[in-house]
Amino acid sequence: MAYMTAKPLDILRIDARNDDVQQRLDELREKLSPRGNIVSEAGRRRTIEVFGKPLTPQQVVEKICEDVRIQGISALLDYTAKLDNAELTPETVRVSAEELASAHAAAEPELLETIRRIRDNILKFQTALLPEDVRVDLPGGGHLGQRFVPLKRAGLCVPGGAAAYPSTVLMTAVPAQAAGVEELVVVAPPTPFGANNADLLATCHELGITEVYRIGGAQAVAAMAYGVEGIEPVDIIVGPGNLFVALAKKHVYGEVSIDSIAGPSEVVLIADETTRPDFTAMDLFAQAEHSPGASILITWDEAALDATYNEVVDRVDQLERGDLTRQALEDFGALILTRDADEACEIANLIAPEHLHIATDNAEELVDKIPCAGAAFLGNYSPVALGDYAAGPSHVLPTGGTARWASGLSSLDFLRGGSIIACNEQDMRNLAPDVQRLADKEGLTAHRGSVDIRVG
């Protein structure tokens, strides 16, 4: 067989019947954690070159954010020059309307048609999520309410290091548009895959986005959070990015809202004897090629596990990003053999993955046993790539186990809920005794007095 002559893959194997699964998974997750205290030797040298000393990523982010907050556009442009090797001015940091229109005019018609179809898919799904305002009538004739108001201004982070991501523009901008956000700000690094990428600019123009800036990393997050000359502050910052973007979003949270502190992409795939191993191999590759990206297979069928491993070994070096994919599988991948389907579900729920792909013949049954997942993909014909690019839910999802409590980005994130209390005199008198009693218990005499003066 072909896999016997291919280079073996040193991927972690866990036998849940004998191994300490929790410990092994904790060790795997620690490698992908955005804690900010681990840096490569190359990164360390770069940090010393820019900052003069070996700062941790956390310290780097704090320094950049504070400099941008205090010094404004000068610090933003200085860090862009030092970290991205791009010499910009206050006049050139923003992509001009002419550049956006030119990129759109030169774009392949088929690409624009694809963008429109995907936009419509996302808009249909995200609009369906929007809540209606609530009104509850009170006995005396007044009413209570909850209204949902869109945020005015949203900042969208779009990566641009190893590849261009028009899909991220779609998956962040369209949910915001569904919610009614008026002003969208896209930041992408000044690279051929970022704000200098014609397809990305064409996508922005097609969606009606007019504010696009050639900035990335922590300095872009800080500029949107605090505002600098020429860039007004936003209300929320969303979208994926590298470790420095994640840590910067964490740093500015409270100044603005954020969607999440995302780490590397991940998938947990549950397979049985009906799951095609060639499908499974490609699904594992699809996350690993992000590099870093975590790809974990869970199955109670040993033959399915072995068949998938053989397919992975046979195919990995044929991929365009084969070296990076192999490295990610060996560093962050795992093949887990369980006693049965129930144990597979327990382990998957313990991982709380960003992407959960249940590629079994009873996927609808199993998904109910795994509530902790950013997005669930059911069946052999629901690969994660459908959600990444076209289906409708956003591909900005919680990672690193945060799906235990966090949700993926949606139109709901761009709304602010506010309550309304409209009591008449009778409603106020009905509520007064309870207010007076609790105010007395808490010793807040003015609270009670504001009711006393009205009831006489």
Q: Are 356 and 370 contacting, i.e. CB atoms less than 8 angstroms apart?
A: yes
With 0-12 / 13-18 / 19 or more C-beta atoms within 10 angstroms meaning exposed / middle / buried, residue 359 is buried
Q: Which of 206, 211, 266, 354 is catalytic?
A: 354
Q: How far apart are CA 212 and CA 343, in angstroms?
A: 47
Q: What is the DSSP string of 67-83?
A: HHHHHTHHHHHHHHHHH
Q: Which of 251, 290, 355, 357 is catalytic?
A: 355
CA dist 402 → 159, 297, 372, 399, 412 (Å):
21, 19, 9, 6, 18
Beta bridge partners of 147: 418
Q: How far apart are CA 356 and CA 336, in angstroms?
A: 15
Is 311 annotated in the active site? Answer: no
Is 354 annotated in the active site? Answer: yes
Q: Are 157 and 187 contacting, i.e. CB atoms less than 8 angstroms apart?
A: yes
Q: How far apart are CA 418 and CA 319, in angstroms?
A: 50
Q: How far apart are CA 328 and CA 49, in angstroms?
A: 28
Q: How far apart are CA 54 and CA 47, in angstroms?
A: 6
Cα within 13 Å of Cα(378), Cβ side: 9
DSSP-derived pairing of the beta strands 12-15 and 334-337: parallel
The verdict on whether omega for the bond into residue 292 sits within 30 degrees of 0, i.e. cis, is yes
Q: How far apart are CA 78 and CA 219, in angstroms?
A: 10
Residues in CB range of 35: below 8 A, 6 or more apart = 58
Q: How far apart are CA 106 and CA 98, in angstroms?
A: 12
What b/e string do you get for 274-291 counting C-beta neighbours within 10 Å, with b at 16 or more? ebbbebbbbbbbbbbbbb
Active site residues: 354-355
